[in-house]
Amino acid sequence: MAELADVIRSGTTRGLDFVNLEELRKRTGISPDSVLKFAVAEMLCNALDKDSTEISVNVYSERDFWVVSVVDNGSQKLSLNDLKLILNFANKASSKRGLLRVSRGYLGNALKCIFGYSYALAEAEGIPPPPATVESGKCKFTIRLKPDLVKELIETEIDTAERADNGTTVFSVKFAMQKRQIVEGIESLEDMVLATCMVNPTRQISYNILGKHGVYGSADNSKTIRQETSVLWYKQKEFETLFEDYRKAAPDTPLKDFIALFRGFTAKRVIREILQQLSVANRDSAVNGVVQFFPATVLRDVPKNTVQNIYAVMKGKSKPIAKRSIPAVLTVVGEENFEKLCEQNEWSHLKYDVKAATKLDCQAQCYWHDDNCRDITHTEYPYLIEVAVFNRQNDGKGLKVYQCVNFMASMENLFERIYNINYHLGRVGLTSDHPVTVIVHLVCPVLKWLNYGKSGLDE
């Protein structure tokens, strides 16, 4: 059994890791053969983070490349500053706090890996690395990575052009891959879109994967998607880091808008009370002179050493919450919503049921290269899953397992398979002969050492 410290890679340096295939494999836990699945999953996940109701996933060929393009109609638009922050390859990995809400983040570690794979695969094939494009608002950004082999760092070149604002955001990335590899993966890409739709029934997700197309779900924004973003989930240091993330990304954001991102603080009266308390606390402490907090106060004007006061006031006004759990992190579709989706899509053979969140001790294969040989070492680590079970009519296909996998670095090949999932499903009465579809969502909300760059092993 390998020591955990020997398996989880420390996050002390970035260098050129994001444009090196071997380092990318270690960082993402996937092989180049599976990069399209990884890209589709993460880019689709980014689209779901927003308030979008319609999403389109496209995979097609273009000369020597396969192109993955994801379009959403979310209201959140990306600026040049947002992209610069996402593409800061010197930054450590982000927790998934999101472009729109506090539960995710501005620092897109998965996007860095996607852009890096695009560059590294082209280099491996001996062809010029292609640019990636991001279209948002009235701007079209063309992104090129510029590795500096001498300084051992990755710089980015971003060209900006105007486009007609059609209300969508588009991410397009090209990958140099063999046709055999992509053809073999078409079904898994379709399955991923289907699985995502099954647990997000209020989104309409269309796809066109090498000419095979379809539409799942229905755009229904009548019910607000639950956003579990209590300030009580953050320790003071984590809150201060979050605040700095937002300050760097959007310094002109009003403080009141930042406060309103958290659960329970959307009402104008509550925000006004918080700002008044901050002004009083700041006057009493007389830190750097007296600074009044108004609704129009922007993040850039908030003194750094008063952020802890913001946290203290918000924490004091927060209502108690239950311990953070998998159902609170994952937007789980209820039976009523799923039955509506079944009716719309004529899925008469499916029925929704949810199993409780489960903590498993799973075995993963971790290996690395040295000068002479390839050593395969096993280790065990815990992770949390939530299982959604959809009964089917007996179609002869038995148990089918789909995975909605959050990006978790440093876990070798976890994106591809769960080693003992069939065993654990068997313990709850689901064997390979049962005609059910199982969607497994993996998240790790409390195990910090699983997040590359935030490991306690290197601190």
Beta strand ranges found along 65-168 (DSSP E): 65-72, 132-136, 139-148, 153-162
SS3 content of the chain, % helix, strand, coil (to 5): 35, 25, 40
pLDDT, mean of residues 267-279: 88
Report all structural domains of the chain as residue ranges with CATH numbers, in order of start.
15-216 (3.30.565.10), 233-317 (no CATH), 326-458 (no CATH)
pLDDT, mean of residues 410-437: 58
> If DSSP codes are grouped into helix, strand and coil, which group holds residue 207?
strand
Give the C-alpha separation, 230 to 242, whole Å. Answer: 13
pLDDT category, 23, cuts 50, 70, 90?
confident
Tokens of 351: 């029925």
Tokens of 400: 């089918």
The per-residue pLDDT for 437 is 73
Whether 362 contacts 380, CB under 8 Å = yes
| DSSP 8-state code for residue 234 | S
Please determine, for residue 152, whether its predicted confidence score (pLDDT) is greater than 90: no
Could you tell me which residue, 443 or 330, shows the higher pLDDT? 443
Per mean pLDDT, which range of 31-45, 348-362, 368-382, 419-433 is the poorest? 368-382
pLDDT in tens, 375-384: 433 334 444 4
Whether 436 contacts 389, CB under 8 Å = yes
pLDDT in tens, 173-212: 999 976 555 555 677 788 778 777 766 667 788 999 988 8
Give the C-alpha separation, 65 to 121, whole Å. Answer: 10
The model's pTM: 0.60
